[in-house]
Amino acid sequence: MLSTACAQGGATLHDTTDVESWLTFKLNIKLADALQLDLVEQARWMENLAVFERQFHQASFSWSPEWNDLSDAQYLAVGARHTTELDNSGGKQGFERFLRLFVHYGGKAKLSRWELAWRLGYQRTQALFLAGGDDPLLEPIKVKWRYRLTVAYDFENWDADPELSYEYFPDAEAGFFPAELPILAEPRHRWRLATDLKIDKRNHIKCFLQRHAGPELFPGALRTEVRWALGLTYAHRSKRK
Domain presence at residue 241: no
Give the pLDDT band (50/70/90) at residue 216.
low
Lowest mean pLDDT across 67-76, 88-97, 161-170, 226-235:
226-235
Q: Tens digit of pLDDT for each residue in 101-160?
A: 999 999 999 999 999 999 999 999 999 999 888 899 988 999 999 999 999 998 888 878
Q: Tens digit of pLDDT for each residue in 47-90?
A: 777 888 899 999 999 999 888 888 889 999 999 999 999 987 77
Q: Tens digit of pLDDT for each residue in 143-164?
A: 999 999 999 998 888 878 899 9
Domain presence at residue 18: no
Mean predicted confidence (pLDDT) in 216-221 = 51
Domain presence at residue 69: yes
Q: Give, in degrees to the nearest 5, the angle at Cα 137 between 131 and 142.
A: 90
Based on DSSP, count helices (H) and strands (E) in the chain, helices before strands: 1, 12
User: Domain range spanning residue 100?
Assistant: 2-12+23-236
Domain presence at residue 157: yes
For the chain, what is the domain count?
A: 1
> In what helix (H) or strand (E) does residue 69 lie, and over which residues does it extend?
helix 69-72
223 and 14 Cβ atoms separated by less than 8 Å: yes
Domain presence at residue 182: yes
Residue 217 has pLDDT above 70, yes or no: no
Domain presence at residue 99: yes
More confident residue, 76 or 172: 76
Domain presence at residue 17: no
CB neighbourhood size of 58 (10 A): 17
Phi, psi of 138 (to 5 degrees): -85, -10
- Give the global pTM: 0.79
Distance CA 175, CA 218 (A): 11
Which CATH number do you get for residue 146?
2.40.160.40
Domain presence at residue 106: yes
Closest CA to 44 of 66, 64, 19, 27: 19
23: which strand partners?
43
